[in-house]
Amino acid sequence: MTDKKTKTEGATKAGSGKYCFDMKALDVIAAGTGYSTSKGGVVEGERMLVGYINKAKGTGSRPHSHPNEQFNFILQGTLDVEIDGQKFKAKAGNVVYVPANMEHSMVATPEEDVIFVAIKDLSHGIIGKATDGTMSGPRYMDGFEPK
């Protein structure tokens, strides 16, 4: 029997006869409250979660970590990524791997919004903690701050 409770508030629970999901039609939830602009639909199974996530151009996450490992499959756009001090660009078609408890940040480049599929194990929900311990908000490139 599938437990109806999710680890991520607002996520949709899979199972109990629910096996196919229109990710674009799910409730949009914050996927990085306090440190990221990431938002989208999230489905949780028994041991894994998947999110259809959007980062608006020129915005993204401050350095953070979470106890679960993560894969991001980029569908649209390009991310400026930093993981454990290593910087690189991840574009559509790339998969980014983030080990558990590894500090990282990802920001959509200024050209277009980024859409990606996030996959994590359910040892934790989708939201991590900012490295600096604050919930002071997401990261914005110059000129992309909220008005």
Place of tokens 């990282």: 104
Instruction: Read off the pLDDT band of 147 (50, 70, 90).
Output: confident
Tens-place pLDDT, residues 97-145: 999 999 999 999 999 999 999 999 999 999 999 999 999 999 999 999 9
The per-residue pLDDT for 4 is: 74
DSSP 18: B
Q: Which domain holds residue 57?
A: 34-140
Residue 113 is assigned to a structural domain of this protein:
yes
Partners of residue 41 on adjacent β-strands: 52
Distance CA 23, CA 42 (A): 7
Whether 2 shows a pLDDT value over 50: the answer reads no
Tens-place pLDDT, residues 19-68: 999 999 999 999 999 999 999 999 999 999 999 999 999 999 999 999 99
Residue 55 is assigned to a structural domain of this protein:
yes
The per-residue pLDDT for 55 is: 98
Distance CA 38, CA 62 (A): 11
CATH code: domain of residue 115: 2.60.120.10
Amino acid identity, position 6:
T
Residue 19 is assigned to a structural domain of this protein:
no
Residue 112 is assigned to a structural domain of this protein:
yes
Burial 38-54 (b: 16+ CB within 10 A, else e): bbbbbbbeeeebbbbbb
Cβ count near 131 (within 10 Å): 14
Cα angle 131, 97, 92 (rounded to 5 degrees) comes to: 110
Domains: count for the chain: 1
Place of tokens 């400026």: 80
Burial 136-145 (b: 16+ CB within 10 A, else e): eebbbeeebe
Residue 133 is assigned to a structural domain of this protein:
yes
